[in-house]
Structure 1
Amino acid sequence: MATILITGCDTGLGVEFARQYAADGHRVLATCLDPQAAHETRAIAGDIEVSKLDVTDHRAIEALAERLDGEPVDIVLNNAGIGRPHPPFGQTDYANWRRILETNLIGPMKLAECFVEHVAASELKQMVFVSSRMGSIALNNSGGSYGYRSSKAGLNMVVKTLAVDLAHRQICVLALHPGWAATEPGGRVPVSESVAGMRGVIHRAGRHHTGNFVTYSDQPLPW
Protein backbone atom coordinates (compact mmCIF):
# COMPACT_ATOMS: atom_id res chain seq x y z
CA MET A 1 0.00 0.00 0.00
CA ALA A 2 1.03 3.60 -0.59
CA THR A 3 2.20 6.19 1.92
CA ILE A 4 0.39 9.52 1.67
CA LEU A 5 1.41 12.71 3.45
CA ILE A 6 -1.56 15.08 3.76
CA THR A 7 -1.45 18.65 5.09
CA GLY A 8 -4.39 20.52 6.60
CA CYS A 9 -6.16 17.56 8.20
CA ASP A 10 -7.80 19.64 10.93
CA THR A 11 -11.12 19.93 9.09
CA GLY A 12 -12.94 19.49 5.80
CA LEU A 13 -11.16 18.05 2.80
CA GLY A 14 -8.07 17.08 4.79
CA VAL A 15 -10.05 14.96 7.22
CA GLU A 16 -11.88 13.26 4.37
CA PHE A 17 -8.69 12.60 2.41
CA ALA A 18 -7.21 10.95 5.51
CA ARG A 19 -10.38 8.96 6.17
CA GLN A 20 -10.72 7.62 2.64
CA TYR A 21 -7.06 6.75 2.16
CA ALA A 22 -6.90 5.03 5.55
CA ALA A 23 -10.12 3.12 4.82
CA ASP A 24 -8.49 1.73 1.69
CA GLY A 25 -5.56 0.43 3.72
CA HIS A 26 -2.96 3.04 2.86
CA ARG A 27 -0.48 4.49 5.34
CA VAL A 28 -1.58 8.05 6.10
CA LEU A 29 0.65 10.75 7.55
CA ALA A 30 -1.93 13.36 8.50
CA THR A 31 -0.71 16.79 9.61
CA CYS A 32 -2.75 19.33 11.54
CA LEU A 33 -2.27 22.75 13.05
CA ASP A 34 -3.60 21.38 16.33
CA PRO A 35 -3.72 17.57 16.54
CA GLN A 36 -5.35 17.66 19.99
CA ALA A 37 -8.31 19.60 18.59
CA ALA A 38 -8.55 17.48 15.42
CA HIS A 39 -10.96 14.99 16.97
CA GLU A 40 -12.33 13.66 13.66
CA THR A 41 -8.86 12.94 12.33
CA ARG A 42 -7.67 11.28 15.52
CA ALA A 43 -10.77 9.05 15.46
CA ILE A 44 -9.95 7.63 12.03
CA ALA A 45 -9.22 3.92 12.09
CA GLY A 46 -6.36 2.38 10.19
CA ASP A 47 -2.67 2.99 9.60
CA ILE A 48 -2.67 6.70 10.36
CA GLU A 49 -0.22 8.95 12.18
CA VAL A 50 -1.36 12.44 13.18
CA SER A 51 1.35 15.08 13.54
CA LYS A 52 1.48 18.79 14.21
CA LEU A 53 2.49 20.97 11.25
CA ASP A 54 1.98 24.59 10.32
CA VAL A 55 2.95 24.91 6.66
CA THR A 56 4.06 28.50 7.26
CA ASP A 57 6.69 27.21 9.69
CA HIS A 58 9.55 26.22 7.41
CA ARG A 59 11.66 24.79 10.21
CA ALA A 60 8.78 22.50 11.17
CA ILE A 61 8.55 21.25 7.57
CA GLU A 62 12.29 20.59 7.56
CA ALA A 63 12.03 18.75 10.89
CA LEU A 64 9.23 16.51 9.60
CA ALA A 65 11.22 15.71 6.46
CA GLU A 66 14.25 14.91 8.59
CA ARG A 67 12.20 12.65 10.86
CA LEU A 68 10.98 10.73 7.81
CA ASP A 69 14.42 10.64 6.21
CA GLY A 70 14.88 7.50 4.16
CA GLU A 71 11.14 6.71 4.07
CA PRO A 72 9.48 6.82 0.63
CA VAL A 73 6.34 8.96 0.40
CA ASP A 74 4.20 8.03 -2.61
CA ILE A 75 1.94 11.08 -2.57
CA VAL A 76 2.59 14.47 -1.00
CA LEU A 77 -0.88 16.00 -0.87
CA ASN A 78 -0.75 19.76 -0.29
CA ASN A 79 -4.25 20.41 1.03
CA ALA A 80 -3.71 23.07 3.72
CA GLY A 81 -5.08 26.44 2.70
CA ILE A 82 -6.96 29.55 3.81
CA GLY A 83 -8.95 32.16 1.95
CA ARG A 84 -11.53 34.10 3.89
CA PRO A 85 -12.29 36.89 4.41
CA HIS A 86 -12.45 38.40 0.91
CA PRO A 87 -12.42 42.18 1.45
CA PRO A 88 -13.35 44.26 -1.64
CA PHE A 89 -11.03 46.57 -3.53
CA GLY A 90 -10.19 49.55 -1.34
CA GLN A 91 -10.38 47.56 1.89
CA THR A 92 -7.43 45.22 1.43
CA ASP A 93 -6.06 43.59 4.57
CA TYR A 94 -2.42 43.35 3.56
CA ALA A 95 -1.33 41.46 6.66
CA ASN A 96 -3.90 38.76 5.97
CA TRP A 97 -2.93 38.69 2.29
CA ARG A 98 0.64 37.87 3.32
CA ARG A 99 -0.70 35.13 5.60
CA ILE A 100 -2.70 33.67 2.71
CA LEU A 101 0.35 33.69 0.44
CA GLU A 102 2.49 32.05 3.12
CA THR A 103 -0.08 29.31 3.62
CA ASN A 104 -1.39 28.68 0.10
CA LEU A 105 1.69 29.36 -1.99
CA ILE A 106 5.01 29.50 -0.18
CA GLY A 107 4.32 26.69 2.29
CA PRO A 108 3.46 24.16 -0.44
CA MET A 109 6.63 25.09 -2.32
CA LYS A 110 8.70 24.50 0.82
CA LEU A 111 6.98 21.16 1.33
CA ALA A 112 7.83 20.16 -2.24
CA GLU A 113 11.48 21.07 -1.77
CA CYS A 114 11.78 19.25 1.53
CA PHE A 115 10.01 16.06 0.40
CA VAL A 116 11.22 15.70 -3.17
CA GLU A 117 13.68 12.97 -2.20
CA HIS A 118 11.00 11.05 -0.30
CA VAL A 119 8.70 11.20 -3.33
CA ALA A 120 11.45 10.34 -5.81
CA ALA A 121 12.24 7.21 -3.77
CA SER A 122 8.62 6.00 -3.87
CA GLU A 123 6.72 3.87 -6.33
CA LEU A 124 3.95 6.34 -7.25
CA LYS A 125 6.01 9.55 -7.29
CA GLN A 126 3.21 12.13 -7.05
CA MET A 127 2.94 15.68 -5.72
CA VAL A 128 -0.63 16.94 -5.60
CA PHE A 129 -1.76 20.49 -4.83
CA VAL A 130 -5.35 21.41 -3.98
CA SER A 131 -5.84 24.58 -5.99
CA SER A 132 -9.03 26.33 -7.13
CA ARG A 133 -10.67 27.53 -10.32
CA MET A 134 -10.50 30.94 -8.62
CA GLY A 135 -6.80 30.81 -9.44
CA SER A 136 -7.59 30.60 -13.15
CA ILE A 137 -6.85 33.92 -14.83
CA ALA A 138 -8.87 32.92 -17.90
CA LEU A 139 -11.98 32.15 -15.82
CA ASN A 140 -11.92 35.30 -13.70
CA ASN A 141 -15.06 37.10 -14.81
CA SER A 142 -16.32 38.22 -11.41
CA GLY A 143 -13.34 40.00 -9.83
CA GLY A 144 -12.73 40.32 -6.11
CA SER A 145 -10.97 37.89 -3.75
CA TYR A 146 -7.55 39.36 -4.54
CA GLY A 147 -5.64 37.52 -1.84
CA TYR A 148 -7.13 34.08 -2.46
CA ARG A 149 -7.10 34.36 -6.25
CA SER A 150 -3.49 35.51 -6.38
CA SER A 151 -2.36 32.75 -4.02
CA LYS A 152 -3.95 30.03 -6.13
CA ALA A 153 -2.79 31.56 -9.41
CA GLY A 154 0.73 31.58 -7.97
CA LEU A 155 0.29 28.00 -6.78
CA ASN A 156 -0.71 26.97 -10.30
CA MET A 157 2.49 28.48 -11.65
CA VAL A 158 4.47 26.59 -9.03
CA VAL A 159 2.76 23.35 -10.11
CA LYS A 160 3.49 23.95 -13.78
CA THR A 161 7.12 24.83 -13.07
CA LEU A 162 7.63 21.85 -10.75
CA ALA A 163 6.20 19.61 -13.46
CA VAL A 164 8.93 20.80 -15.82
CA ASP A 165 11.76 20.73 -13.28
CA LEU A 166 10.89 17.31 -11.84
CA ALA A 167 9.98 15.54 -15.09
CA HIS A 168 13.43 13.96 -15.33
CA ARG A 169 12.80 12.35 -11.92
CA GLN A 170 9.51 10.85 -13.16
CA ILE A 171 7.49 12.84 -10.58
CA CYS A 172 3.90 13.66 -11.55
CA VAL A 173 2.74 17.08 -10.30
CA LEU A 174 -0.96 17.98 -10.34
CA ALA A 175 -3.20 20.94 -9.46
CA LEU A 176 -6.75 19.95 -8.51
CA HIS A 177 -9.93 22.00 -8.12
CA PRO A 178 -12.14 20.39 -5.45
CA GLY A 179 -15.32 22.09 -6.65
CA TRP A 180 -17.39 24.30 -4.38
CA ALA A 181 -17.17 21.75 -1.61
CA ALA A 182 -19.55 21.83 1.33
CA THR A 183 -16.83 22.93 3.72
CA GLU A 184 -18.37 26.40 3.89
CA PRO A 185 -21.87 27.94 3.65
CA GLY A 186 -23.30 27.52 0.18
CA GLY A 187 -20.97 24.73 -0.85
CA ARG A 188 -22.72 22.41 -3.28
CA VAL A 189 -20.39 19.43 -3.63
CA PRO A 190 -20.44 16.93 -0.74
CA VAL A 191 -16.98 16.66 0.80
CA SER A 192 -16.91 12.89 0.35
CA GLU A 193 -17.75 13.26 -3.35
CA SER A 194 -15.12 15.96 -3.89
CA VAL A 195 -12.39 13.91 -2.23
CA ALA A 196 -13.41 10.67 -3.95
CA GLY A 197 -13.26 12.51 -7.27
CA MET A 198 -9.84 13.98 -6.60
CA ARG A 199 -8.55 10.60 -5.44
CA GLY A 200 -9.77 9.14 -8.72
CA VAL A 201 -7.85 11.77 -10.67
CA ILE A 202 -4.73 11.06 -8.63
CA HIS A 203 -5.10 7.31 -9.06
CA ARG A 204 -5.48 7.55 -12.84
CA ALA A 205 -2.67 10.07 -13.33
CA GLY A 206 0.42 8.89 -15.15
CA ARG A 207 3.69 10.65 -15.85
CA HIS A 208 2.20 12.21 -19.01
CA HIS A 209 -0.43 13.99 -16.88
CA THR A 210 2.16 16.03 -15.00
CA GLY A 211 1.46 19.75 -14.98
CA ASN A 212 -2.30 19.31 -15.43
CA PHE A 213 -4.90 21.57 -13.78
CA VAL A 214 -8.20 19.70 -13.52
CA THR A 215 -11.41 19.53 -11.52
CA TYR A 216 -12.39 16.78 -9.10
CA SER A 217 -14.40 15.31 -11.99
CA ASP A 218 -11.27 15.26 -14.18
CA GLN A 219 -12.25 18.17 -16.40
CA PRO A 220 -9.34 20.35 -17.60
CA LEU A 221 -9.26 23.97 -16.47
CA PRO A 222 -7.55 26.88 -18.26
CA TRP A 223 -4.71 28.63 -16.51
Structure 2
Amino acid sequence: MATILVTGCDTGLGVEFARQYAGDGHRVIATCLDPATATETVAIRGNIEVVKLDVTDHTAIEALSRRLRHDTIDILLNNAGIGRPHPPFGETDYALWDRILQTNLLGPMKMAESFVEQVGRSEAKMMAFISSRMGSIALNNSGGSYAYRSSKAGLNMIVKTLAVDLAPRQICVLALHPGWAATEPGGRVPVAESVAGMRGVIHRAGPHHTGSFVTYHDQPLPW
Protein backbone atom coordinates (compact mmCIF):
# COMPACT_ATOMS: atom_id res chain seq x y z
CA MET A 1 0.00 0.00 0.00
CA ALA A 2 1.02 3.61 -0.61
CA THR A 3 2.13 6.22 1.92
CA ILE A 4 0.31 9.54 1.68
CA LEU A 5 1.35 12.72 3.49
CA VAL A 6 -1.57 15.16 3.71
CA THR A 7 -1.34 18.67 5.12
CA GLY A 8 -4.24 20.62 6.60
CA CYS A 9 -6.18 17.73 8.14
CA ASP A 10 -7.86 19.85 10.82
CA THR A 11 -11.14 20.14 8.89
CA GLY A 12 -12.85 19.71 5.54
CA LEU A 13 -10.98 18.27 2.58
CA GLY A 14 -7.96 17.26 4.62
CA VAL A 15 -10.02 15.16 7.00
CA GLU A 16 -11.79 13.48 4.09
CA PHE A 17 -8.55 12.76 2.24
CA ALA A 18 -7.18 11.10 5.38
CA ARG A 19 -10.42 9.16 5.93
CA GLN A 20 -10.65 7.84 2.37
CA TYR A 21 -7.01 6.91 1.98
CA ALA A 22 -6.86 5.22 5.41
CA GLY A 23 -10.16 3.49 4.67
CA ASP A 24 -8.60 1.94 1.59
CA GLY A 25 -5.74 0.56 3.65
CA HIS A 26 -3.05 3.08 2.80
CA ARG A 27 -0.63 4.53 5.32
CA VAL A 28 -1.59 8.14 6.03
CA ILE A 29 0.48 10.82 7.70
CA ALA A 30 -2.09 13.51 8.47
CA THR A 31 -0.77 16.87 9.59
CA CYS A 32 -2.84 19.47 11.39
CA LEU A 33 -2.32 22.61 13.40
CA ASP A 34 -3.49 21.04 16.66
CA PRO A 35 -4.17 17.30 17.01
CA ALA A 36 -5.96 18.02 20.28
CA THR A 37 -8.77 19.77 18.42
CA ALA A 38 -8.68 17.69 15.21
CA THR A 39 -11.16 15.23 16.67
CA GLU A 40 -12.49 13.95 13.34
CA THR A 41 -9.02 13.11 12.12
CA VAL A 42 -7.93 11.50 15.37
CA ALA A 43 -11.04 9.30 15.25
CA ILE A 44 -10.16 7.84 11.83
CA ARG A 45 -9.38 4.15 12.01
CA GLY A 46 -6.56 2.52 10.10
CA ASN A 47 -2.86 3.04 9.50
CA ILE A 48 -2.86 6.75 10.23
CA GLU A 49 -0.50 8.99 12.16
CA VAL A 50 -1.72 12.45 13.16
CA VAL A 51 1.13 14.95 13.32
CA LYS A 52 1.20 18.54 14.55
CA LEU A 53 2.43 20.83 11.76
CA ASP A 54 1.95 24.46 10.77
CA VAL A 55 3.08 24.81 7.15
CA THR A 56 4.16 28.39 7.83
CA ASP A 57 6.75 27.02 10.27
CA HIS A 58 9.61 26.03 8.01
CA THR A 59 11.71 24.74 10.90
CA ALA A 60 8.91 22.32 11.80
CA ILE A 61 8.65 21.15 8.18
CA GLU A 62 12.38 20.47 8.10
CA ALA A 63 12.14 18.56 11.40
CA LEU A 64 9.35 16.35 10.05
CA SER A 65 11.33 15.68 6.89
CA ARG A 66 14.33 14.60 8.96
CA ARG A 67 12.13 12.29 11.03
CA LEU A 68 10.79 10.71 7.84
CA ARG A 69 14.11 10.76 6.00
CA HIS A 70 14.18 6.97 5.57
CA ASP A 71 10.54 6.71 4.46
CA THR A 72 9.07 6.75 0.99
CA ILE A 73 6.11 9.05 0.33
CA ASP A 74 4.07 8.07 -2.69
CA ILE A 75 1.78 11.10 -2.61
CA LEU A 76 2.61 14.47 -1.08
CA LEU A 77 -0.78 16.15 -0.89
CA ASN A 78 -0.48 19.86 -0.17
CA ASN A 79 -3.96 20.65 1.05
CA ALA A 80 -3.43 23.17 3.87
CA GLY A 81 -4.78 26.59 2.99
CA ILE A 82 -6.78 29.58 4.13
CA GLY A 83 -8.91 32.06 2.22
CA ARG A 84 -11.65 33.95 3.98
CA PRO A 85 -12.38 36.71 4.67
CA HIS A 86 -12.13 38.53 1.32
CA PRO A 87 -11.85 42.27 2.09
CA PRO A 88 -12.96 44.44 -0.86
CA PHE A 89 -10.72 46.85 -2.73
CA GLY A 90 -9.98 49.82 -0.48
CA GLU A 91 -10.18 47.75 2.70
CA THR A 92 -7.21 45.46 2.17
CA ASP A 93 -5.93 43.67 5.25
CA TYR A 94 -2.25 43.35 4.43
CA ALA A 95 -1.42 41.30 7.52
CA LEU A 96 -4.07 38.77 6.47
CA TRP A 97 -2.74 38.80 2.91
CA ASP A 98 0.74 38.00 4.20
CA ARG A 99 -0.64 35.11 6.29
CA ILE A 100 -2.52 33.74 3.28
CA LEU A 101 0.61 33.85 1.14
CA GLN A 102 2.67 32.18 3.86
CA THR A 103 0.11 29.37 4.13
CA ASN A 104 -1.10 28.90 0.55
CA LEU A 105 2.08 29.67 -1.37
CA LEU A 106 5.31 29.47 0.61
CA GLY A 107 4.22 26.56 2.79
CA PRO A 108 3.52 24.20 -0.12
CA MET A 109 6.79 25.19 -1.77
CA LYS A 110 8.69 24.40 1.42
CA MET A 111 6.91 21.04 1.67
CA ALA A 112 7.93 20.21 -1.90
CA GLU A 113 11.56 21.11 -1.28
CA SER A 114 11.68 19.26 2.04
CA PHE A 115 10.07 16.00 0.90
CA VAL A 116 11.27 15.71 -2.69
CA GLU A 117 13.71 12.92 -1.81
CA GLN A 118 11.05 10.81 -0.09
CA VAL A 119 8.67 11.31 -3.02
CA GLY A 120 11.36 10.73 -5.62
CA ARG A 121 12.22 7.25 -4.38
CA SER A 122 8.58 6.14 -4.09
CA GLU A 123 6.61 4.16 -6.62
CA ALA A 124 3.88 6.73 -7.32
CA LYS A 125 6.13 9.84 -7.35
CA MET A 126 3.24 12.28 -6.95
CA MET A 127 2.96 15.84 -5.64
CA ALA A 128 -0.59 17.20 -5.68
CA PHE A 129 -1.47 20.76 -4.72
CA ILE A 130 -5.01 21.86 -3.87
CA SER A 131 -5.46 24.99 -5.94
CA SER A 132 -8.67 26.75 -6.99
CA ARG A 133 -10.47 27.99 -10.05
CA MET A 134 -10.11 31.40 -8.40
CA GLY A 135 -6.39 31.20 -9.16
CA SER A 136 -7.09 31.13 -12.90
CA ILE A 137 -6.26 34.49 -14.47
CA ALA A 138 -8.16 33.61 -17.63
CA LEU A 139 -11.36 32.80 -15.71
CA ASN A 140 -11.36 35.86 -13.44
CA ASN A 141 -14.47 37.70 -14.55
CA SER A 142 -15.81 38.68 -11.14
CA GLY A 143 -12.88 40.48 -9.47
CA GLY A 144 -12.32 40.73 -5.73
CA SER A 145 -10.62 38.23 -3.42
CA TYR A 146 -7.20 39.74 -4.11
CA ALA A 147 -5.25 37.86 -1.45
CA TYR A 148 -6.76 34.44 -2.09
CA ARG A 149 -6.65 34.75 -5.89
CA SER A 150 -3.02 35.85 -5.88
CA SER A 151 -2.01 33.02 -3.55
CA LYS A 152 -3.59 30.38 -5.79
CA ALA A 153 -2.31 31.97 -9.01
CA GLY A 154 1.16 31.91 -7.47
CA LEU A 155 0.66 28.30 -6.40
CA ASN A 156 -0.24 27.39 -9.97
CA MET A 157 3.02 28.92 -11.16
CA ILE A 158 4.90 26.88 -8.56
CA VAL A 159 3.18 23.72 -9.81
CA LYS A 160 4.06 24.46 -13.43
CA THR A 161 7.67 25.26 -12.57
CA LEU A 162 8.08 22.23 -10.32
CA ALA A 163 6.73 20.08 -13.14
CA VAL A 164 9.60 21.24 -15.34
CA ASP A 165 12.28 21.00 -12.68
CA LEU A 166 11.22 17.59 -11.33
CA ALA A 167 10.54 15.96 -14.71
CA PRO A 168 14.01 14.32 -14.77
CA ARG A 169 13.02 12.50 -11.55
CA GLN A 170 9.72 11.35 -13.11
CA ILE A 171 7.76 13.16 -10.38
CA CYS A 172 4.24 14.15 -11.43
CA VAL A 173 3.08 17.54 -10.14
CA LEU A 174 -0.60 18.51 -10.30
CA ALA A 175 -2.78 21.51 -9.38
CA LEU A 176 -6.30 20.40 -8.45
CA HIS A 177 -9.50 22.42 -8.19
CA PRO A 178 -11.83 20.75 -5.65
CA GLY A 179 -14.95 22.52 -6.86
CA TRP A 180 -17.02 24.69 -4.56
CA ALA A 181 -16.88 22.04 -1.87
CA ALA A 182 -19.36 22.06 1.00
CA THR A 183 -16.70 23.06 3.50
CA GLU A 184 -18.27 26.51 3.79
CA PRO A 185 -21.74 28.04 3.49
CA GLY A 186 -23.03 27.83 -0.07
CA GLY A 187 -20.68 25.05 -1.13
CA ARG A 188 -22.39 22.77 -3.61
CA VAL A 189 -20.05 19.81 -4.03
CA PRO A 190 -20.20 17.19 -1.26
CA VAL A 191 -16.80 16.90 0.38
CA ALA A 192 -16.66 13.13 -0.12
CA GLU A 193 -17.43 13.55 -3.83
CA SER A 194 -14.79 16.23 -4.26
CA VAL A 195 -12.10 14.18 -2.55
CA ALA A 196 -13.03 10.97 -4.36
CA GLY A 197 -12.81 12.84 -7.66
CA MET A 198 -9.40 14.31 -6.87
CA ARG A 199 -8.15 10.92 -5.73
CA GLY A 200 -9.23 9.52 -9.07
CA VAL A 201 -7.31 12.23 -10.93
CA ILE A 202 -4.21 11.50 -8.83
CA HIS A 203 -4.53 7.75 -9.36
CA ARG A 204 -4.83 8.05 -13.14
CA ALA A 205 -2.04 10.60 -13.56
CA GLY A 206 1.44 9.75 -14.72
CA PRO A 207 4.58 11.69 -15.67
CA HIS A 208 2.98 12.81 -18.94
CA HIS A 209 0.24 14.61 -16.95
CA THR A 210 2.70 16.66 -14.94
CA GLY A 211 2.08 20.40 -14.86
CA SER A 212 -1.68 20.02 -15.32
CA PHE A 213 -4.35 22.22 -13.70
CA VAL A 214 -7.58 20.23 -13.54
CA THR A 215 -10.91 20.01 -11.72
CA TYR A 216 -11.95 17.22 -9.38
CA HIS A 217 -13.76 15.63 -12.32
CA ASP A 218 -10.59 15.76 -14.43
CA GLN A 219 -11.46 18.69 -16.66
CA PRO A 220 -8.56 20.98 -17.65
CA LEU A 221 -8.63 24.58 -16.48
CA PRO A 222 -6.87 27.55 -18.14
CA TRP A 223 -4.10 29.23 -16.22
Which residue matches 1:111? 111
Which residue matches 2:132? 132
Which residue matches 1:16? 16
Q: CA–CA distance in 2 between the matches of 1:108 and 1:154?
A: 11
Q: Give identity over the alignment, percent.
A: 82
SS in 2 for 1:86: coil
Give a deviation string over 1:27-52, Cα, whole Å, max 9, x none: 00000000010000000000000000
Give a deviation string over 1:38-94, Cα, whole Å, max 9, x none: 000000000000000000000000000000011110000000000000000000000
Q: CA–CA distance in 2 between the matches of 1:119 and 1:88?
A: 40
Aligned length: 223
Displacement of 1:23: 0.4
Give a deviation string over 1:137-161, Cα, whole Å, max 9, x none: 0000000000000000000000000
Structure 2 gaps, min length 5: none
The residue type paired with residue 171 of structure 1 is I
Structure 1 gaps, min length 5: none
Give a deviation string over 1:99-145, Cα, whole Å, max 9, x none: 00000000000000000000001000000000000000000000000
Which residue matches 1:98? 98
Which residue matches 2:120? 120
Alignment of 1:26-105 (within 5 A): 26-105=26-105
Displacement of 1:95: 0.3
SS in 2 for 1:128: strand
The residue type paired with residue 88 of structure 1 is P
Cα RMSD for the two superposed structures: 0.3
SS in 1 for 2:28: strand
Residues 1:180 and 2:175 aligned together: no
Alignment of 1:150-165 (within 5 A): 150-165=150-165
